[in-house]
Amino acid sequence: MSKILVTGATGQLGKAAVNELLQKVNASDISVLVRDPQKAEELKNKDVNVIKGDYNDYASLVAAFKGIDKLYFVSSSDVMNRFAQHENVVKAAIEAKIGHIIYTSAQRKSEDGTSPIAMVADAHWKTDNLIKQSGIPYTILKHGLYTDILPMFMGDKVIETGTIFLPAGNGKASYASRNDLAAAGAVILTTDGHENKVYEFGGTDSYSFEDISGMLSELSGKTIQYVSPSAEEYAEQLKSLGVPDEMIQGAATFCVAIAQGEFDFPTTDLERLLGRKPESVKDFLKAAYQL
């Protein structure tokens, strides 16, 4: 059986991928790379092989990757240092002779720096290219925006306030849930025929916040309206409510990117790989807001 290593396994996507894998292969065939083994007690208790390593520490990566056939490479959450870290991962994968690298990339419309999220996303397209040039068989998973971020953007009081207030205009995005993306990753890690392929892992449909306000209205039985201010009005309003600048900036940038259609890629790749319908945005919201 192939030896699989999952990075980012103390994070949400990596942990979900390991849990999916545990339903398909023996724990002894699964390793995880973690920065802090204390955060991986739960995985250790499931007999997964926990290896300490850091994307910033090249030697730790080479040591961790020795004897691994398939690497599920979760993109780093450290946006400022991400590409240098990813270079370490890819070089270490080459040195350790990894057999197949599966990278969690991102959907995007533009790669020329004009995207409002270029600062966050450029490491993805650079990493995709690095992996393609590495000589290692690869699968690039272009993840759509997680459905999971919707409650973060809209706030947990959206049903009470009756208003979604976000600068996303009429832009649509093809959201996919983190759990479905993890499940599809586990399918790729445990089945054949995915070498040198790029999958568009968005949902099968795209939705605007107007559409989402309709879903929430239907689910809650209350009228939920969508108001799209300018990015400046949005920032001013949230600042006056005491929301930290970093959070405002992050949400505003993504919403302006949504307005430009940067994440509007409805496809059936995810549905095909899962062998079932992905979780719908409406079902996700129903559970998230307990409606």
Write out the residues near ligand NAP by the rule CB under 6 A: 7-8, 10-14, 35-36, 39, 54-56, 74-78, 85, 104, 106, 143, 145-146, 149
CB of 25 to ligand NAP, least distance (A): 21
- CB nearer ligand NAP, residue 167 or residue 203: 203
Q: Is 282 exposed, middle or buried (0-12, 13-18, 19+ CB in 10 A)?
A: middle
CB of 105 to ligand NAP, least distance (A): 9
Q: Which phi-psi region, left, alpha or beta, contains residue 290 (left: φ > 0; alpha: ψ -120 to 50)?
A: left
Q: How far apart are CA 263 and CA 105, in angstroms?
A: 13
Looking at residue 150, its amino acid is L
- CB nearer ligand NAP, residue 11 or residue 162: 11
CB of 54 to ligand NAP, least distance (A): 4
Residue tagged 């099968």 (tokens): 204
What angle in degrees, to the nearest 10, is found between the helix axes of 58-65 and 82-95? 40
- CB nearer ligand NAP, residue 56 or residue 217: 56
- CB nearer ligand NAP, residue 77 or residue 129: 77
DSSP state of 9: T
Q: How far apart are CA 214 and CA 228, in angstroms?
A: 15
CB of 103 to ligand NAP, least distance (A): 11
- CB nearer ligand NAP, residue 74 or residue 259: 74
- For residue 55, CA distances in Å to 33, 38, 124, 149 come to 9, 18, 15, 25
- CB nearer ligand NAP, residue 61 or residue 159: 61
CB of 13 to ligand NAP, least distance (A): 3
- CB burial of 48-84 (b: ≥16 within 10 Å; e: otherwise) equals bebbebbbebbebbbebbeebebbbbbbbeeeeebbe
Q: How far apart are CA 98 and CA 66, in angstroms?
A: 8
Q: What residue is closest to ligand NAP based on CB?
A: 11
CB of 14 to ligand NAP, least distance (A): 5
